[in-house]
Amino acid sequence: MRAQPSATVRIDAPLDVVWRVMLDTEAYAEWNPFVERVETPTPPAVGNPIVLHVRWANGKTTRSPERITAIEPPSTAADGSTTALLTYVYEGLPGRLRLLSATRHQRLTQRPGEPTTYDTVEEFSGPLVRLAGPGRVADGFRRHAEGLKTRAEALATTA
């Protein structure tokens, strides 16, 4: 089975500001209603373990052990658009047993004169996808995206 829960939001802040908020894992508790706390060496780096402390919409919590597999800092293309990427993979027991594969991508894109677009998607596959709760993950991603938008826009107006 496969599933790809996702969320997208446009953020009225420079991409660099949004990127700083995404990588400031120590401050997640201040703005993120989905991933309330993150355990990872700072600054985050490819290969680092990252444990996400997740709060579902019903108030229940869980820990999700992951590993950072990509950090592509902001880069500007010839057309003037800027992009950045953060990716990590699930490393919990179901993942190690090959019962659930999950990779989360968080992409930022900003074209000249436009807001920053934040896109996130989790690529789930394996026999335990249904138990991973793609619907509740999508809800968490929406809450995460809205929190990121609020935080980055507030920082952009005070800068």
Structure confidence by residue, pLDDT tens digits, 23-75:
999 999 999 999 999 999 988 999 999 999 999 999 999 999 999 999 999 99
How sure is the predictor about 158, in pLDDT bands with cuts at 50, 70 and 90?
confident
Structure confidence by residue, pLDDT tens digits, 107-126:
999 999 999 999 999 999 99
Closest listed residue to residue 124, CA positions, set 112, 111, 135, 108: 135
DSSP string, 36-78: EEEE--SS--TT-EEEEEEE-TTS-EEEEEEEEEEEEEEEE-T
Can you give the length of the chain in residues? 159
Residues 119 and 83 sit within 8 Å (Cβ to Cβ) = no
Which residue segments constitute the domains of the chain, with CATH numbers given? 2-158 (3.30.530.20)
**How far apart (Å, rounded) are the C-alpha atoms in residues 117 and 113?**
12
Is 12 strand, coil or helix?
coil
What pLDDT does residue 70 have? 98
End-to-end, the C-alpha distance of the chain in Å comes to: 46
Structure confidence by residue, pLDDT tens digits, 81-112:
999 999 999 999 999 999 999 999 999 999 99
Amino acid making up residue 121:
V
**How far apart (Å, rounded) are the C-alpha atoms in residues 147 and 32?**
5
Closest listed residue to residue 112, CA positions, set 142, 76, 86, 84: 76
Residues 46 and 69 sit within 8 Å (Cβ to Cβ) = yes
How sure is the predictor about 1, in pLDDT bands with cuts at 50, 70 and 90?
confident
What pLDDT does residue 89 have? 97
For 81, half-sphere exposure in the C-beta direction (CA atoms, 13 angstrom radius) is 10
How sure is the predictor about 143, in pLDDT bands with cuts at 50, 70 and 90?
very high
What pLDDT does residue 159 have? 61
